Amino acid sequence: MPVVIDKDLCIECEECVNICPFGSLELGPSGLECSDTCTLCGICLDVCPSEALTLPDVPEEEIDLKDYKDVWIYGEQKRGSLHPVVLELIGVGRELARKRNCRLGVVSIGNRLDQVLATLKHYDVDDIFLIQHQQLKDYNSEIYANLLTDLIREKKPEIILSGATLRGRSLIPRVAVKVRTGLTADCTELDVDENTGNLLQTRPAFGGNIMATIECPNRRPQMATVRPRVMKTASPLPSPHKNQVVQNIDPLLSSLRSETEILDTVDSLKETEDLTEAGIIVAGGRGVGAPKGFRLLERFAKVIGGVIGASRAAVDAGWVPYSRQVGQTGRTVHPDIYFACGISGAVQHLVGMQSSKIIVAINKDKDAPIFNYADYGIVADMFEVIPELIKYAERRVKR
């Protein structure tokens, strides 16, 4: 159902034609027309000077909440290995399933999932749904979203949890739109109302100043993502699960079609993942001065088991690749410890790292804004401090 055009109001300025990201609008001999490729995104409405465009009334689909049961976890895997966040979600998912007196399932999509299955055998999961096909070797958000949507429509789970990983963030919103339900991203706490089944999804809001608990009372399934390392990893069972039900799901051929062809997977993607999921980040800014300053930070990161991050100033200077940039136009990170070395603390940098559990700032300028956000501040030249920290860390490692 496309956007509605009031041809009496339209002055044929073509503003909407130029802005539509889907090329759905065209000005022809009989005026403006909109094709079925329109996704009702609403962008064109904002640019129309004569308010000639409106979204059609889409009747709200009635659903019976009682048709939906069970808790599912999206079993993200890469090259056959489960992402650690899945084991974290199994812990919280099991608790939700216990409260709702329902089953806990994991859905995994890929090519060869034997290793995924072998891992899940050791965890308290009731149902395992495996969607395997050679075409699913590489992650493709379009196809994976089609397949997960097909399964949700068939089995009707009440709750779906996924890691807020790079892939989770790309997949789960697509699925939520397809099944027309709500999604709460980056939850830090999950609980369930045992009577209504409403998922209580708690996450920081307004820049982390308040914690909001969000419910999705009228739609099912309820979908939430959780960042890696927020929840406790589930403990493995003392012996392999004996009653797990494993279902191999044949993908619909129509759902395997995609507009995207994966030609290659580039290494920098892995670097980015490392950054967003790292427990310790050693980030450098303009104060690092040169690429060789980053070699020093790399040594420090290596000895404490961290990875390198950077401010935009350091990236723009060409000292580190963009995949390392933290901030508004880079990555949002949430490590246990964030070392900000020679970084002033501009707001665009802060938005990407201020939810780190511990922030350690090293800066020559005692008035640098970063100190307002740091748990530990060292007013000093980083080239004096970092070598001392390396020596200290090396001594601790040797002990």
Ligand X SMILES: Cc1cc2nc3c(=O)[nH]c(=O)nc-3n(C[C@H](O)[C@H](O)[C@H](O)COP(=O)(O)OP(=O)(O)OC[C@H]3O[C@@H](n4cnc5c(N)ncnc54)[C@H](O)[C@@H]3O)c2cc1C
Residues contributing to the site for ligand X (CB under 6 A): 285-287, 311-314, 325-330, 342-344, 346, 348-349, 352, 362-365, 368, 381-383
Residue 55 C-beta: closest distance to ligand SF4, Å: 7
Q: Does 106 bind ligand SF4 (CB under 6 A)?
A: no
Per DSSP, the residues of 311-353 read -HHHHHTTSS-GGGBBSTTSB----SEEEEES----HHHHHHH
* Cβ(226)–Cβ(71) below 8 Å: no
Q: Which residues contact 89 (CB under 8 A, 6 or more apart)?
A: 73, 161, 162, 163, 226, 231
The DSSP symbol for 366 reads T
Question: Are the C-beta atoms of 51 and 9 separated by less than 8 Å?
Answer: yes
41 binds, among ligand X, ligand SF4, none (CB under 5 to 8 A by kind): ligand SF4
CB of 281 to ligand SF4, least distance (A): 38
Residues 6-65 that bind ligand SF4 (CB under 6 A): 10-16, 20, 22, 24-25, 32, 34, 38-44, 47-50, 52-53
For tokens 């996924």, what's the residue? 162
Is the Cβ of residue 200 or residue 379 nearer to ligand X in the bound state?
Answer: 379
Closest CA to 360 of 385, 323, 387, 329: 385
Minimum distance of ligand SF4 from residue 54's CB (angstroms): 10
CA gap 116, 122 in Å, rounded: 11
Minimum distance, C-beta of residue 182 to ligand SF4, in the bound complex (Å): 21
Q: Is 143 in the site for ligand SF4 (CB under 6 A)?
A: no
Least separation in angstroms between CB 60 and ligand SF4: 19
Position 207 contacts ligand SF4 (CB under 6 A): no
Nearer residue to ligand X within complex by CB, 221 or 335: 335
Q: Which two tokens stand for residue 373?
A: 């956000």
**Which of ligand X, ligand SF4, none sits in contact with 344, Cβ below 5 to 8 A by type?**
ligand X
CA distance 158 to 181: 11
Q: Is 341 in the site for ligand SF4 (CB under 6 A)?
A: no
* Binding letters toward ligand SF4, positions 357-396, x by CB under 6 A: ----------------------------------------
- Rg, C-alpha atoms of the chain: 24
| Partner touching 330 among ligand SF4, ligand X, none, CB below 5 to 8 Å by kind | ligand X
How would you class 90 by CB atoms within 10 Å of its CB: exposed for 0-12, middle for 13-18, buried for 19 or more? buried
Partner touching 327 among ligand SF4, ligand X, none, CB below 5 to 8 Å by kind = ligand X
Sign of CA pseudo-dihedral 332, 336, 342, 345: positive
Element (H, E) at 275: helix 267-276
Distance separating alpha carbons of residues 355 and 9, to the nearest angstrom? 48
Percent of the chain that is helix, strand, coil (3-state, to 5) = 35, 25, 40
CB of 173 to ligand SF4, least distance (A): 17
- Measured in whole angstroms, the distance separating CA 357 from the mean position of its chain's CA atoms is 19
The minimum distance between CB 41 and ligand SF4, in angstroms, equals 4
Interaction between residue 102 and ligand SF4 (CB under 6 A): no
* Partner in contact with 63, chosen from ligand SF4, ligand X, none, beta carbon below 5 to 8 Å by kind: none
**Least distance in angstroms from the C-beta of 385 to ligand X:** 8
Per CB under 6 A, residues contacting ligand SF4 are 3, 5, 10-16, 20, 22, 24-25, 32, 34, 38-44, 47-50, 52-53
